[in-house]
Structure 1
């Protein structure tokens, strides 16, 4: 275990803009991170400006802190490359939760255990993707599709067209049908 003699720097990542990184932010703050860098990109994405900025910002004696190992990267090779680079620069790596919670030691048993856990994390992600695809394919074969249910069914569309033909405003029609104006505009334009 490497002793932190410098600054504790946090890195948080979510895969999409729709996800919230607040849980990670709270954990990094509680851990004592003085600065936190963030990305909203897949871990497989090589272009992670927040991670690059964090790595550029850090100096010998600092510690890079991540909430969970998979936030650092999704591929075994990528995570190991980052960890080895940090060690070579005299920067520690601290993982707050998960199987590898603690600090990374790039020597002997620590390196072996870290490598195995990174590989297992990648395998777990691949299995989740595979199960999700299989589930979606099975649902599709049964005639079910995912996503939000449509709010504009055929009856509402006929009513909307009739009201629009009579000169009624889109706002009034949307309110009467219980849908948003944007939904009504989109549905009307798609049906023309």
Structure 2
């Protein structure tokens, strides 16, 4: 009988420390994690390993509901599986424990709201991106060179100036110059 922690972040740039600290403070004897894996992915190596190592009497602990489940159905299916194996589930931030019937009922309600919040965030983000595109704005990094500078790069290259010299003149890397030359003329070799 032990507390097993699970932590997950969606991107490699995100940090697990907050979740790991909370799980350690909660008394987890072992913590499994997935980094750079979306909650929408069905296969998560850390979660899969934890589920393989479960023993009756264990309790899975997460920092927040959305760290372990993609949606309400996914969470309820997982909790049902845990219950069948004689294990419990606990979410620290949400204050939920499936030790009793009230906990399971509250889990269903909280999970539905968590799914709603996620879906609303996705809808707001999509609407914001669409509005930005309608105003002519596109996402991503700004180009390193203006259209005029890109034409100048081509002219300098055709005048037999070295890529290193062009890069120094433009204040960009050699790779950027190669990239612009490839965009303007696919026959230019790197």
**Per the shorter chain, which TM-score range?**
0.7 to 0.9
- How does the TM-score come out when normalised to structure 1? 0.84
Alignment check: 8 A CA contact 1:87 1:106 kept: no
Alignment correspondent of 1:191:
184
Name the CA distance, whole Å, in 2 between partners of 1:127 and 1:118.
Answer: 14
- Report whether the alignment pairs 1:104 with 2:98: yes
Name the CA distance, whole Å, in 2 between partners of 1:75 and 1:14.
Answer: 16
Alignment correspondent of 1:3:
none
Structure 2, unpaired ranges of 5+: 186-190
Structure 1, unpaired ranges of 5+: 1-5
- Report whether the alignment pairs 1:174 with 2:167: yes
Whose relative contact order is higher, 1 or 2, with alpha carbons under 8 Å and at least 6 apart? 1
Name the CA distance, whole Å, in 1 between partners of 2:7 and 2:177.
Answer: 39
3-state secondary structure, aligned to 1:173? helix
Name the CA distance, whole Å, in 2 between partners of 1:26 and 1:182.
Answer: 41
Give the alignment's Cα RMSD to 1 decimal.
2.0
Alignment correspondent of 1:126:
119
The alpha carbon displacement at 1:185 in A equals 1.9
- Report whether the alignment pairs 1:160 with 2:153: yes
1:183–1:81 distance in 2 versus 1, CA, 3 Å: same
Alignment correspondent of 1:65:
61
User: Which of 71, 74, 85 is matched with 2:70 structurally?
Assistant: 74
Alignment check: 8 A CA contact 1:95 1:102 kept: yes
Count residues in correspondence: 184
1:186–1:75 distance in 2 versus 1, CA, 3 Å: same
Alignment correspondent of 1:55:
51
3-state secondary structure, aligned to 1:37? strand
1:172–1:54 distance in 2 versus 1, CA, 3 Å: farther
The alpha carbon displacement at 1:82 in A equals 0.8
- How does the TM-score come out when normalised to structure 2? 0.85
Alignment check: 8 A CA contact 1:65 1:94 kept: yes
- Report whether the alignment pairs 1:30 with 2:25: yes
Alignment check: 8 A CA contact 1:84 1:106 kept: no
Alignment correspondent of 1:15:
10
The alpha carbon displacement at 1:114 in A equals 0.9
The alpha carbon displacement at 1:106 in A equals 4.9
Name the CA distance, whole Å, in 1 between partners of 2:27 and 2:162.
Answer: 56
